Amino acid sequence: MPTLQGWYAGPRFGAKAEANRHLIGVGVRAWRCLPSLDPQIPTEERIMDSTSLALTGSAIDGGLFVDITDFARDTPALHTPMAWLSSYGILVFVALLAFTWWRARAASSAAMACAMAGFVSAPIASLVNTGIKDAVAETRPCRVFAHAYVIETCPGAEDYSFPSNHAVVSFAAVAALLVINRRLGGVALLAALPLAFSRIYVGAHYPHDVLAGALLGILIGMPISLAGRRYGTTAVDYLRRGPGRLLVGSPHRTAPRSAT
């Protein structure tokens, strides 16, 4: 007679049996962790099962992660651009923020203050995200689903998954750029969406990791940029009166018309 574990991990779930086991086997896992119900399972194994379920996101959208990595396996032509985007796509946002800073050198103090706040928002968002990662300690999906097709090398065991730092930083930059210039913000958004997807495609994150990272980035980047535009003007004015103008520039002034 097949065991309960064998039933839910059996062939009826097709090629994605392991993913389905994580998704539909939550109750079975909990059952197996109760000594009174399954006393033949060693205590160490029950503890391992319980911890694995608590520290991974497989029960949330593990099946979708496997579907996306299967899509990656079936689209080899996208491997190189997706891997490049996953590793270096963040440079697009550095370039856009640098462009807004350069333009703001000849603009108002409020524009320069907002541009500088945009630069500050990304590292602040990354620091906040690091604290959340360490607190949640979600295991990377490439370690949970050993059978998944992974393009990038799976990070170390202590390099946690939730939220995605790439999504946090890129969407913090998107929020800042939307405050500075809506058109540039739109361009940044068009770049941030495929970057976020690439982190799932290469096997580095669950979908909920990038969604949470995007939300966190916006929640951090938007208020910092708005506060910079409102409260940073005085500091920029001060810098423009001294050597700091090499950094923040000075607005072009139209020469007064001569009296006729």
Mean pLDDT of 17-31: 41
Report the distance separating Cα 244 and Cα 236, nearest Å: 8
* Span of 36-50, 108-122, 143-157 with lowest mean pLDDT: 36-50
- Whether the predicted pLDDT of 5 surpasses 60: no
Longest dimension (CA), the chain: 106
> Are 160 and 137 a contacting pair, CB within 8 Å?
yes
Q: What is the mean pLDDT of the chain?
A: 75
Residue reference for tokens 């108002």: 108
pLDDT band at 184 (very low <50, low <70, confident <90, very high): confident
Which is more confident, 105 or 140? 140
- Whether the predicted pLDDT of 19 surpasses 50: no
Mean pLDDT of 89-118: 84
- Ramachandran bin of 59, using left for φ above 0, alpha for ψ from -120 to 50, beta for the remaining angles: alpha
Give the tens place of pLDDT for each residue, 209-231. 999 999 999 999 999 988 888 88
Report the distance separating Cα 160 and Cα 166, nearest Å: 13
Report the distance separating Cα 100 and Cα 180, nearest Å: 8
Which is more confident, 9 or 133? 133
Mean pLDDT of 117-131: 89
Report the distance separating Cα 195 and Cα 167, nearest Å: 8
Which H/E stretch holds residue 211? Answer: helix 207-231
The confidence score (pLDDT) of residue 131 equals 92
Residue reference for tokens 């535009």: 229
The confidence score (pLDDT) of residue 194 equals 93
> Are 151 and 144 a contacting pair, CB within 8 Å?
no
> Are 170 and 191 a contacting pair, CB within 8 Å?
yes
Report the distance separating Cα 83 and Cα 78, nearest Å: 8
- Could you count the other beta carbons within 10 Å of the beta carbon of residue 201? 24
Beta strands in the chain (DSSP E): none
> Are 96 and 187 a contacting pair, CB within 8 Å?
yes
- Whether the predicted pLDDT of 197 surpasses 90: yes
Length of the chain: 260
- Whether the predicted pLDDT of 57 surpasses 60: yes
Rounded to the nearest angstrom, the gap between the alpha carbon of residue 94 and the centroid of all alpha carbons in its chain is 16
